[in-house]
Structure 1
Amino acid sequence: MPNALDLRRRIKGVKNIQKITQAMKMVAAVRLRKAQERVRDSLPYCQELETAIAALVTSGEELPGGLFAEREVLRTGYLVIGADKGLAGSYGSNLVKALVRHIGGESRVGLVVVGRKVKDYFGRRHVAIDKSYTGISEKPRYQHAVDIGAVITELFGRGTYDKVYLVYTKFCSSGNQQVVVEHLLPIRIAETLPCRKQPQIYEPSFDSVLAEVAAKWLEAAVFRGLIHAAASEVASRLNAMSLATDNAQELIGQLVLEYNKVRQANITREISEIVGGSEALR
């Protein structure tokens, strides 16, 4: 049974940890508010791009190759957006499990990863990582999406990947985040929509307009994944730190109760010794 000194040290240690988790919880709450605003503010832009590229695809014009090229799948690429840091509960493990489940037993795969945790995990398992980005998961900028989109376009264009999936954690609410695996390339949008019969004039040409809109659509899709993943990471960290703070408080209560029992036992023993000594002197 631990003595009173050990229990006091443990209580002090748990209280110090509780202060840290409480501070991290407060920081995560502030960041989550900003991350939610970014997710909400990006929605109109992404929706307009979806509308624009759907209008081009259903215009009746012949689609060029490029990002629309369908070919035999020899190697599949995955753009995986994870976290650089831990202490976010099951955020990282859920992402990895979903990706491993989607890959199955397929060996002809390549990864473009965002986040040190994902990179380290698959690096230890000798999975081919063609490109990695670290240090951007918490505060992604649109330029990051532009750079990643350019790399994905290059890998797809030269045949390194014949199909590309986007894997990230979608932010639904502060208490609900879901890992999604979305088809990214080749672009398949509005395949079931009817063909527009009204003639359109494109300047300088249909191919150039479609190529520009397709590039912007890819960048927007990557950026959507980045900001959703950032918001989901912060929300998971907030929930994890909140749970850790509550657990620390519960543990402190248990330790204080045990400490009081030990102290009371010591007091009772000392009183018994005093009483016994006084009786012996009579």
Structure 2
Amino acid sequence: MANLKELRKRIQSVSSTMQITSAMKMVSAAKLKKAQDSILQMRPYASKLKEILQNLNSTLEGNDGIYASKKEVKNVLLVAMTSNRGLCGAFNSNINKLARKTAEEQKSLGRHVSILCVGKKAYDYFKKLEYTIAGNESHIFDQIQYSKVETLAENLMADFRNGKYDEIHLIYNQFKNAAVQYPTVEQYLPVQKPENQNSAATDYIYEPEKADLLQLLIPKSLKIQVYKAVLDSNASEHGARMTAMHKATDNARELQRVLKLDYNKARQASITNEILEIVSGAAALNG
């Protein structure tokens, strides 16, 4: 009977876990819809703005080209974007591993690497290792707002202008769908030129003057790139958590089925033993 009691407790425990994971899956699915809409609406705008910025890169001169200026790379900043919470499969570990791999590659080139953690899981991971932590911006994912991301982008641009960092890279999960996210390393600064250098430069008509327009357009584009990465990471997090909770619910359901089968077998064996004891006792009395 002790075995039956233990099995009943395990079945109840698995049932409770299954209810929790199922509820978390539904919550993540609801959040995913909003996050997915945000990134899908932002992505075309951000991509076009980045394309324009890259096309203008070859025409930038003087102070206008400060964000495209290339120099000897001595100090590199990696911006690692993870979530503040777990229970989302390999979402966080993929970014932490990629950031660490990228940091080691940069170190092998004789460069000093700093890591800016955007997300609690990245900070918890790298603070235990021998890396220079440039800061912890976990509050951004508490409630995603453009104003918070804008401040982060302005700080990154200021550090690049002042020569604190010679290169800045964004490391985040690029959202494809609920089941697929791509860990990505993207050079943020200096601004890269278009991949197809042989193509003719686009001839833009500037209104107002080119200098005034570029002064507004370049920082705007750089802020949007960071905001897009944050939205990508946010949608990827909810997709990864929904998938992880879906698998956890399925596993709990399968474990519950196996435990119920074991419980029924044990209960049947217990009843059979009781019947045998009664029959044996009756036979002994009659004998």
| Structure 2 length-normalised TM | 0.90
Amino acid at match of 1:183: Q
> Is 1:115 equivalent to 2:119 in the alignment?
yes
Amino acid at match of 1:276: S
Deviates more, 1:222-231 or 1:49-58: 49-58
State the distance in 2 between where 1:164 and 1:199 align: 28
Find the counterpart in structure 1 of residue 191 from structure 2: 187
CA change 1:62–1:170 in 2 (3 A) is same
Runs of 4 or more consecutive aligned structure 1 residues displaced over 6 Å after TM superposition: none
Find the counterpart in structure 1 of residue 171 from structure 2: 167
Find the counterpart in structure 2 of residue 36 from structure 1: 36
> Is 1:145 equivalent to 2:149 in the alignment?
yes
CA change 1:166–1:17 in 2 (3 A) is same
State the distance in 1 between where 2:143 and 2:182 align: 20
State the distance in 2 between where 1:265 and 1:215 align: 75
Q: How does 1:56-205 map to 2 (within 5 A)?
A: 56-58=56-58, 60=59, 62=61, 64=63, 65-104=65-104, 106=107, 108-137=112-141, 139-190=143-194, 192=197, 193-195=199-201, 203=208
CA change 1:239–1:2 in 2 (3 A) is farther
Find the counterpart in structure 1 of residue 7 from structure 2: 7
Amino acid at match of 1:42: M
CA change 1:199–1:229 in 2 (3 A) is closer
Asked if 2 retains the 8 angstrom alpha-carbon contact of 1:18 and 1:249, the reply is: yes
Asked if 2 retains the 8 angstrom alpha-carbon contact of 1:145 and 1:223, the reply is: yes
Cα drift, residue 97 of structure 1:
1.3
Find the counterpart in structure 1 of residue 27 from structure 2: 27
Find the counterpart in structure 2 of residue 249 from structure 1: 253
TM-superposition CA deviations, 1:81-128 (whole Å, max 9, x none)? 111000000101111111122222516101122100001100111311
Cα drift, residue 61 of structure 1:
5.3
Amino acid at match of 1:146: E
Gaps of 5+ in 2: none
Asked if 2 retains the 8 angstrom alpha-carbon contact of 1:53 and 1:210, the reply is: no
TM-superposition CA deviations, 1:5-56 (whole Å, max 9, x none)? 0100110011001000000000111111111100111123213422432453
Find the counterpart in structure 1 of residue 280 from structure 2: 276
State the distance in 1 between where 2:17 and 2:201 align: 62
State the distance in 2 between where 1:28 and 1:72 align: 44
CA change 1:144–1:172 in 2 (3 A) is same
Cα drift, residue 204 of structure 1:
5.2
Amino acid at match of 2:213: V
CA change 1:62–1:159 in 2 (3 A) is closer
State the distance in 2 between where 1:165 and 1:2 align: 59
TM-superposition CA deviations, 1:147-203 (whole Å, max 9, x none)? 11011012112222101111100001122110010111011133614345x685564
State the distance in 2 between where 1:29 and 1:269 align: 49
> Is 1:263 equivalent to 2:262 in the alignment?
no
Asked if 2 retains the 8 angstrom alpha-carbon contact of 1:57 and 1:63, the reply is: no
State the distance in 2 between where 1:125 and 1:256 align: 45
Q: CA RMSD in A?
A: 2.1
Cα drift, residue 63 of structure 1:
5.0
Asked if 2 retains the 8 angstrom alpha-carbon contact of 1:139 and 1:230, the reply is: no
Gaps of 5+ in 1: none
Query: Which of residues 227, 230, 236 is equivalent to 1:226?
Result: 230
State the distance in 2 between where 1:38 and 1:202 align: 30
State the distance in 2 between where 1:136 and 1:15 align: 35
Find the counterpart in structure 2 of residue 16 from structure 1: 16
State the distance in 2 between where 1:266 and 1:37 align: 57
